[in-house]
Structure 1
Amino acid sequence: MTWQQRINSALEERRAADAFRVRRVVENGAGRFLTREDRQFCNFSSNDYLGLSQHPAIVRAWQDGAARFGVGSGGSGHVSGYTTAHRALEEALADWLGYPRALLFISGFAANQAVIAALMGKDDRIVADRLSHASLLEAANLSPAQLRRFAHNDAGQLSTLLDKPCAGQQLVVTEGVFSMDGDSAPLRALHDAAKQQNGWLLVDDAHGIGVMGDEGRGSAYQQNVKPELLVVTFGKGFGVSGAAVLCSDPVADYLLQFARHLIYSTSMPPAQAVALSASMAVIRSEEGAERRQRLAEHIHRFRQGLGALPFQSTDSLSAIQPVIVGENSRALALAQALRERGMWVTAIRPPTVPPGTARLRLTLTAAHKAQDIDALLEALHVASQ
């Protein structure tokens, strides 16, 4: 088979399974509304959970940062790309979340890959929730360590796997809030299981940070758990982009020596770090608390309405509210039906989710209004007839 034949075969397989991914050009894609081809849609596919991506103070902070530092960092943080703006953000994050150190990364994907690649050796074992994010599972598969998966949120099976002999160290991997199901991990039980075998817990809290817990400190803080490694990302609750790893002083120093994703990547623009500091200030403020309360009200309103409709969902109390329909073609048809009624939703299909669980991944934000939630429920009701 030639290169072209291999590529064509893979593409045709995706198309035949109704799993072919397509990007669509939109305007204002992170706010309450987005526009495509001069038509406005109410946006239920954004991870901008607190509606901060267009917050005037955060936008202004980025502009001020760009005026001071320029629009790029100019290099790796190990060369010349680590500025006072980066240091201030790292120190503020560490203080806020209760860790000795924070290290900034250009993305959550890079942070997860970097930590696992740097820490795990051939005698070690990674035990990951089977629904962990692709960045975590890919890093685990690429590492020399042994990978074992435990049933979703099943601390008992995790303990059984950790009990098996292991010549090296063991790392338990999970998300705080799962990106496709929207449910939360039982972090206390997972951490206890890891500690019983002298293992460490890595929590990717991309969908919890900023949104859950006191001052938006996230899933782990809400459950009174302090994992050895906490990854927080800034493209959701913070409304910006990038990520950080929270850890001990020795681990931070180790990652600075051995995390290739950190050493060999251009650091985030200093202006972005300035904007993230401004975003954190809003999250921690009374305004941030009000936005979290408004989001919680939207979630309650939606779940009450969804319960009366003939759709399968999950136990999610987060901003992520999946509507599981099963077949890929049905998910695509339902998404199209909602778009015809002015709702921007996205059908999520395998391999992103397990086979037979194609869904609409609906996301609610503090930027929505109560009437938006009601309109979405009405659209779902009509589509279910």
Structure 2
Amino acid sequence: MSWQHRIQLALAQRRETGRMRQRTINHQGDARWIEINGQRYRNFSGNDYLGLSHDLRVIRAWQQGAERYGVGSGGSGHVTGYRAVHADFEAQLADWLGYSRALLFISGFAANQALIAALMAKGDRIFADKLAHASLLEAASLSPATLRRFSHNQPASLQKLLTSDGAAETLVVTEGIFSMDGDVAPLAQLHQLSQQANSWLMVDDAHGIGVLGEQGRGSCWQQQVKPELLVVTFGKAFGVSGAAVLCDDDTADYLLQFARHLIYSTSMPPAQACALQAALRAIQQGDELRQQLGENIACFRRGARDLPYTLGDSQTAIQPLIVGENQAAVTLAERLRARGCWVTAIRPPTVPPGTARLRITLNASQQPEDIDALLERLYDAQGE
């Protein structure tokens, strides 16, 4: 089989099963509105949960950082790319979240891959939640460790794995809030089980940081858990991009020596770190934004109770509306877009077969009339 034939066959299979992914150019927009092909839509597909991507404090901090440092870092952090503003922001993050150290990465995907690749050795085990993010599961499968998956958010399933024959080291991997279902992991129970088995817990809190816990410190803080490894990302509630790993001093020093994604990548622009410092201050002072987000979530859930679809059991900004079949989910999304609401259909392999859905995301920038408009159009779409 030639390369071209293999590629064409894979694409044909995707098209036949209704799983073909397409990108759409977002010409302009913010957390509340986006503009695509000259049409304006209410935005229910973004992850900008607090609307900070267009916050003037964050924008001005980036502009001032660019004027001072330029628009790029100029190299790896191990060469010339590590600036004082990077070090300051790492220290602020570590202090805020109660860790000895924080290390900045260019993305959450890179942070997860780097952490697992650097830590795991042959003979080790990784026990990951079955619905953990692709970056976590891919890194685990590519590592020399043995990967086992426990039932989603089921501590008893993890306990059975932990009581099986031992290994050199065991890492338990989960998310704080799961990106497709919006449900919260039972972190306190998972951490207790991990500690009893002398294992480490790694939590990816991409969707919890900024929106849960005191000052938005995230899922772990809310559940009074301090995992050995915490990954936070800045592309959601922070409104920017990038990520950080929170850990102890020895682990941070180890990662500086062996985390290839960190060593061999150009570090984030220092101007971006300036913007992230401003976003952190906004999050720390963002109780009103979190309250507004909570009100929007409650409003949507009240209004969606009588829809003929399964509304996921989520109290977070991610509200999955399970439609079932791939084409039915796509058709419903298209009908909503035709009426001015931008909602994305999520299909396998991102979610399990038979659970194609609308992944509706809410944020603090949305107004009551936005929620009402979405609900009205969801009910209207049933009759078409």
TM range, smaller chain: over 0.9
Equivalent in the alignment of 1:297 = 295
Equivalent in the alignment of 2:346 = 348
1:265 is the counterpart of 2:265: yes
**Equivalences for residues 205-244 of structure 1 within 5 A:** 205-244=205-244
Equivalent in the alignment of 1:360 = 358
Distance in 1, matches of 2:263 and 2:74, equals 14
Letter in 2 for 1:321: Q
Distance in 2, matches of 1:134 and 1:153, equals 16
Distance in 2, matches of 1:384 and 1:112, equals 41
Q: Is the 8 A contact 2:96 2:217 kept in 1?
A: yes
Letter in 1 for 2:352: P
Could you say what secondary structure the match of 2:52 adopts?
coil
Q: Which runs of 4+ in 1 moved over 6 A?
A: none
Letter in 2 for 1:51: G
Equivalent in the alignment of 2:331 = 333
Distance in 1, matches of 2:328 and 2:107, equals 33
Residue 104 of structure 1 deviates from its aligned partner by 0.1
Q: 1:30 to 1:353 in 2, by over 3 A?
A: farther
Letter in 2 for 1:365: N
Equivalent in the alignment of 1:52 = 52
Could you say what secondary structure the match of 1:202 adopts?
strand
Distance in 2, matches of 1:204 and 1:116, equals 12
Could you say what secondary structure the match of 1:336 adopts?
helix
Gaps of 5+ in 2: none
Q: Is the 8 A contact 1:30 1:47 kept in 2?
A: no
Equivalent in the alignment of 2:94 = 94
Q: Is the 8 A contact 2:317 2:363 kept in 1?
A: yes
Q: Is the 8 A contact 2:28 2:36 kept in 1?
A: no
Sequence identity percentage: 64
Distance in 1, matches of 2:134 and 2:351, equals 10
Equivalent in the alignment of 1:43 = 43
**Matched length:** 383
Distance in 1, matches of 2:69 and 2:166, equals 49
- Measured against aligned partners, the alpha-carbon deviations of 1:224-269 in whole angstroms (never above 9, x if no partner) come to 0000000000000000000000000000000000000000000000
Residue 51 of structure 1 deviates from its aligned partner by 0.4
Residue 22 of structure 1 deviates from its aligned partner by 0.5
Distance in 2, matches of 1:212 and 1:192, equals 21
Distance in 1, matches of 2:35 and 2:260, equals 39
Could you say what secondary structure the match of 1:296 adopts?
helix
Equivalent in the alignment of 1:275 = 275
Letter in 2 for 1:95: D
Distance in 2, matches of 1:315 and 1:220, equals 20
Q: Is the 8 A contact 2:40 2:340 kept in 1?
A: yes
Distance in 1, matches of 2:114 and 2:30, equals 28
Gaps of 5+ in 1: none
Could you say what secondary structure the match of 2:167 adopts?
coil
Residue 314 of structure 1 deviates from its aligned partner by 1.4
Residue 336 of structure 1 deviates from its aligned partner by 0.2
Q: Is the 8 A contact 1:210 1:218 kept in 2?
A: yes
Residue 29 of structure 1 deviates from its aligned partner by 4.3
- Measured against aligned partners, the alpha-carbon deviations of 1:12-58 in whole angstroms (never above 9, x if no partner) come to 00000110000011123442111111110000001000000000010
Equivalent in the alignment of 2:380 = 382
Equivalent in the alignment of 2:111 = 111
Q: Is the 8 A contact 1:33 1:41 kept in 2?
A: yes
Distance in 2, matches of 1:289 and 1:104, equals 26
Moved more, 165-174 or 64-73: 165-174
Letter in 2 for 1:261: H
Letter in 2 for 1:171: L
TM-score (norm 2): 0.99
